[in-house]
Structure 1
Amino acid sequence: MTFLAIRSLELEIGYPVLAVLQALGAALEREGFASRLKGRPHRQEKEASGGR
């Protein structure tokens, strides 16, 4: 049921929601969100701005 709802959203917005959620999950397993907020703010700001 959940995957059908996600697929419906993907079709509606034309974006691979499930793939994004999987990639986010993998990234958060490598480094948790709390540590991303605390550590290396310069890296985060640079990445958030597309490397600028």
Structure 2
Amino acid sequence: MLIGSVVPFTLIVIRPTNAQLLMQGRDLTSAATRTLLEKWVRLHAVRSVAC
């Protein structure tokens, strides 16, 4: 059952974070980018555990 939740979780929860990280013109050295990357790592860990 958890494996089936990975795709919706990715599309609904992780995708918006990915979109923000991939925004054109993003300052890759900014604190905001670091915060988004840390959020992405936590979300990815949740997704990995579900697999």
Q: Give the structure-1-normalised TM-score.
A: 0.33
Q: Give the structure-2-normalised TM-score.
A: 0.33
Larger radius of gyration: 1
Which structure has more relative contact order (CA 8 Å, sep 6+)? It is 2
